[in-house]
Amino acid sequence: MKVKINPEWKEMLKGEFNKPYFKKLVEFIKDEYDTGKCYPKGGKIFEALNLCLPDNIKVVLLGQDPYHGPNQAHGLSFSVPLGTSHPPSLVNIFKELESDLNIPYPKNGDLSSWARQGLLLLNSTLTVRANQPASHQGKGWELFTDFLIEAISKEMDGIVFLLWGSFAKRKINLIDNSKHLVLKSGHPSPLSANRGYWFGNKHFSQCNNYLSQKLKKPIDWKL
């Protein structure tokens, strides 16, 4: 299993990589990938960080864990590779985007272009066993990504944090909302969205308005 992470992140995170919990996590992940099918591929585990470097971060969108079906997970929260059918949550994200900014529903579900503009598409857990959702939770990934969220909050200014659903909202204690914008809503999954907790949140326009106020280039949400 080949894992790659950009040197800029490696330098920032080297202290975390040397902690006992992370070394134990690495052993667990290696064993999981060696003995069974896991997602995403090893080279894509840190894709969110590789496409969105520390100096470029404008927005953090927190997901829970990767998609667990074939040809879905590629290291970016909510995103799927080009040509893959859109999962229900992504469908609802695109519907809200269309309603909020009048951007036509895209054929492409690959959100890499968002990441390259400074949107950190971070899952709380970065790996999963095939067809077994949440199978790699509680193994150490959450400690790592919590550290990352807190570090971004402490070391940067004027970041938009998108917290969708109860799991993501629990991370609010890691974020200094006196110097960042925190946008909360229900999760875009059908269960939440169909109960009225997702549609109409207008997070995409609110995000760009805030970035403009901070003299940062807004996100081009078109795919």
Q: What is the residue whose two structure tokens read 């949400």?
A: 221
Cα(45)–Cα(59) distance, integer angstroms? 20
Instruction: Record the tokens describing residue 1, joined without a space.
Output: 């299993």
pLDDT at 61 over 80: yes
Q: Which residues are the active-site residues?
A: 65
Q: What is the mean pLDDT of residues 52-73?
A: 96
pLDDT of residue 3: 87
pLDDT at 82 over 90: yes
Per-residue pLDDT of 181-192, as tens digits, reads 999 999 999 988
pLDDT of residue 11: 86
Cα(83)–Cα(152) distance, integer angstroms? 33
For residue 122, the cross-strand partners are 62
By the 8 A CB rule, do 149 and 60 touch? yes
pLDDT of residue 13: 93
Q: Which residues are CB-contacts of 206 (< 8 A; sequence separation ≥ 6)?
A: 181, 183
Instruction: Record the tokens describing residue 48, joined without a space.
Output: 């969110």
Q: What is the mean pLDDT of residues 163-179?
A: 95
Per-residue pLDDT of 144-163, as tens digits, reads 999 999 999 999 999 999 99
H runs (alpha helix) in 19-123 = 20-35, 47-51, 88-101, 112-116
Cα(28)–Cα(68) distance, integer angstroms? 18
pTM of the complete model = 0.96
- Percent of the chain whose predicted confidence (pLDDT) is above 90: 93
Per-residue pLDDT of 87-117, as tens digits, reads 999 999 999 999 999 999 999 999 999 999 9
